[in-house]
Structure 1
């Protein structure tokens, strides 16, 4: 019997859906949008380490085989933080005892800050047009 766990993470305008396959074979795949993690983030080791951080904290780095992530919207920073939230949530779905560890490092808290909308009569949301005396 193949068992899948899934979770959703959001950050700014990015949404990440993660599916984790709990099986005992040794094919370790970490796929983001049908690409390997190294190809998707262009060998950026800092972002890769940030994404794997929940697995490192809980000592589950090589335990789960097929991790498939679908992410859309935003840039690399928003996408990576949405993936981190989704991974943390799926780890808590698999085993609730890891919730305390992940909560301690604020990995289960959704960062709700989004871009403020532009107001009329201004250049951006708060910036005003340049004032000229003469």
Structure 2
């Protein structure tokens, strides 16, 4: 009977068997992610919000943000939108340490600012993987899935019906 395979009679014995076989407790911890940078020392990421898509390059610099060839103050005239795109730097405590070059297409200004914030956050995590936890906790790495609902036939808009007339 001693040659038969050993079976765990209790949970404690089963735990010992799993640990001895190199189970989940014996697995090594994953190494930290390597930074993703191109030959010019930049990190690239794509950000999306509503129908807007932002292609973002981030590199160390003086904090200049260029969007479609224009400075951010000229492209986003509203201070709220400029504040929105600077949030990832403020949360990560990297304000005015990176230059941003971005091209944004589609959507309106609010959607473009949201796409830019998403792209900047992703590019920062590629440049400095240690910032991922901070930016994820702030919710900047999650793509906002809300988009405009399509218009249905037989309706005035997506859900609004035409005015009802009894006669």
Structure 2 length as normaliser, TM-score? 0.73
The one-character-per-residue Cα deviations of 1:55-109 (angstroms, maximum 9, x if unpaired) are 0111111212x31110011111100000000011011101111111111111110
Q: Does 1:38 align with 2:73?
A: yes
- Work out whether residues 62 and 97 of structure 2, in 8 Å CA contact, stay in contact via their aligned partners in 1: no
Instruction: Provide closer, same or farther for how the CA distance between residues 2 and 80 of structure 1 changes in structure 2, counting only shifts above 3 A.
Output: same
- 1:63 aligns to what? 97
Report the CA distance between 1:28 and its aligned residue. Answer: 4.2
Question: Which sits farther off after the overlay, 113-122 or 82-91?
Answer: 113-122
Cα distance in 2 for residues equivalent to 1:118 and 1:28: 42
Q: How big is the alpha-carbon RMSD for the aligned residues of Structure 1 and Structure 2? A: 1.4
Query: SS of 1:3's equivalent?
Result: coil
Cα distance in 1 for residues equivalent to 2:111 and 2:126: 23
- Work out whether residues 49 and 143 of structure 2, in 8 Å CA contact, stay in contact via their aligned partners in 1: yes
- Once the two structures are superposed, the pairs formed by residues 1-134 of structure 1 within 5 Å of their partners are 2-22=40-60, 28-42=63-77, 44-64=78-98, 66-134=99-167
Which structure is richer in relative contact order (CA contacts within 8 A, separation 6 or more)? 1
List runs of 5+ in structure 2 lacking aligned partners: 1-38
More strand by share: 1
Kindly report structure 1 stretches of 4+ aligned residues shifted beyond 6 Å: none
List runs of 5+ in structure 1 lacking aligned partners: none
Q: Give the total of aligned pairs.
A: 129
Report the CA distance between 1:20 and its aligned residue. Answer: 1.6
